Chains A and B, each alone.
Chain A
C-alpha cells in the first residue's frame, strides 16, 4: 500500500479544485443575467442617439463636423481596447489580443503610428509589455460599469482626434453572441461611418437651440461615449459567459481526473490485498 496514500491526497486536492471551479461557474452563470440586463437597458439610448444623428446628417450644416470627415492621409491610428479585469475566462482576452496584434502589425508595416486607450486590467498587463503608446487607461470597472468611469479616457482620444493627433479610431471588444459564443469585434468609431438609413421621405428640419453645429458636437461626443459604454457591457457579458464555459470544462476535467485516480487507487489497493493473501498462503504452506 505504498502509493495509495499519495493517491488519496491527490484525489482530495483535485476535489478541492473542483469545488472552486464549480463555485466560479455558478457565480458567473448568475452574473451573465445581470450583465445582459445592463446591455439591454442601455440600448434605447444608443438607438435614439443614432436616429437623431442620422437625422442631423441630412440637415444643412454650415460645415461638416470633423468627426464625420474622412481624412486623406492616415498617419496615426487609435484603438480603444476593452478587456476584462480578471482572468480565468478561457481564451477571451488572448483571442482579442491576437487579432489586435495582427492589425497592429499591418499598421506598423505601413508606417502608421499607434496609440491605445485601454480599459480593463488584463489589457494593461498585456500592453505594458508592448512598445505601443498608451494614452489613457481605466481599470477596475466592477460588475456595474458606469459611463462616468469611461468619460475621461474617451475625452483623451477625442481631443487627440480633434487636434489631429489621431486620424482614425477603432474600438475592440468581445461581442456577446450567446452564452457559448463570443466574437472579437473591432469596429471603427471615428470618422463616423456614414449611415445608410436614408428615410428622406419623412424629411423635416428641427428648430435648433442653440446652433446645429454646437448640438451636433455634443451629440457626437455622447454617441461615441455610449458606443464605448455599450462595448464595455458586451465585453462584461462575454467575460462571464466565457468564464462559465471555461470553469465548466475545468470542473468536467477535474471529475474525469478524479475517476481516473480512483481507478488507480482501487487497483493499488487490490494489488496489496492480493499480495497479502498470497503471502499468508505461502507462509501457511511453509509451515
Chain B
C-alpha cells in the first residue's frame, strides 16, 4: 500500500493539515511540483500560492501559503509554511521598526545605571519581600 504519501502542512503558529494523500501539488520556487508517493528526496523553497492535496478518496483540499519550505522524503511530504508575507524589504521595514522602538525605549532612560547597582537594588527588593513573608508567617502564629 504505497499508493499514498503522508503529507504534513505546518506553520510556526499552527498545524494546518496532516494526513495521507495520493498526490500533493505545491508551488515550488522553480516551478510547480506534483508530488506522488515515492518521490525522490528533495528540499526546496516555495513561492506564495496554493497547495493542493489530493486525498486518496479523490477529493481535493486547498491551502493558501505565503511561501515557505518543502521537504520530501519517500513517504513524507512536509510543507513548512511561512505565516507572513516574506520579502527582503518587508523584513527590513520590520527590523527598522524594532530598532526605532528600542531607541524610544532608551530615549526616556533617565539616568544610566550600572549592572551592579541594579543588582543591588533587586537584591534589596528581594530581601524586603522575604522579610514581608517572614513577618506574615509570624502574624499567622
Interface residues of A (CB under 8 A from B): 38, 41-42, 44-46, 48-49, 52, 56, 91, 94, 97-98, 101-102, 104-105, 108, 117-118, 124, 127-132, 134-139, 146-148, 151-153, 155-156, 159, 204-210, 212, 215, 218-219, 222, 225-226, 229, 253, 256
Contact = CB atoms under 8 A, between A and B. Distances in A.
A146 B42 contact: no
B84 A151 contact: yes
A261 B52 CA distance: 68
B94 interface: yes
Given A105-B119, A130-B118, A137-B102, A152 B91 contact: yes
A58 B74 CA distance: 18
A118 B103 CA distance: 12
B53 to A, nearest CB: 16
Interface string B117-141: 0110011011001000000100010
Given A101-B119, A210-B29, 10 more contacts: A42-B13, A129-B110, A131-B114, A147-B13, A148-B84, A152-B99, A206-B43, A208-B43, A219-B69, A256-B140
A237 to B, nearest CB: 15
Please name the 10 residue pairs, one residue from A and one from B, whose CB atoms are nearest each other, closest first.
A152-B94, A136-B98, A152-B98, A209-B44, A137-B102, A155-B95, A153-B98, A131-B112, A148-B84, A206-B43
Interface string B13-54: 111001000000000111000000000111111000000000
B73 to A, nearest CB: 8
A139 B97 CA distance: 11
Nearest to A206: B43
A232 B137 CA distance: 35
A193 B97 CA distance: 30
Contacts of B78: 48, 52
Contact of B69 (A41, A42, A98, A218): A218
- Interface range for B: 35 or more
Contacts of A101: 115, 118-119, 122
B94 A108 contact: no
A256 B96 CA distance: 51
Nearest to B94: A152
Contacts of A38: 13
B54 to A, nearest CB: 22
A134 B125 contact: no
Contacts of A127: 105
A6 to B, nearest CB: 20
B113 interface: yes
A217 to B, nearest CB: 11
A152 B119 contact: no
Nearest to B70: A209
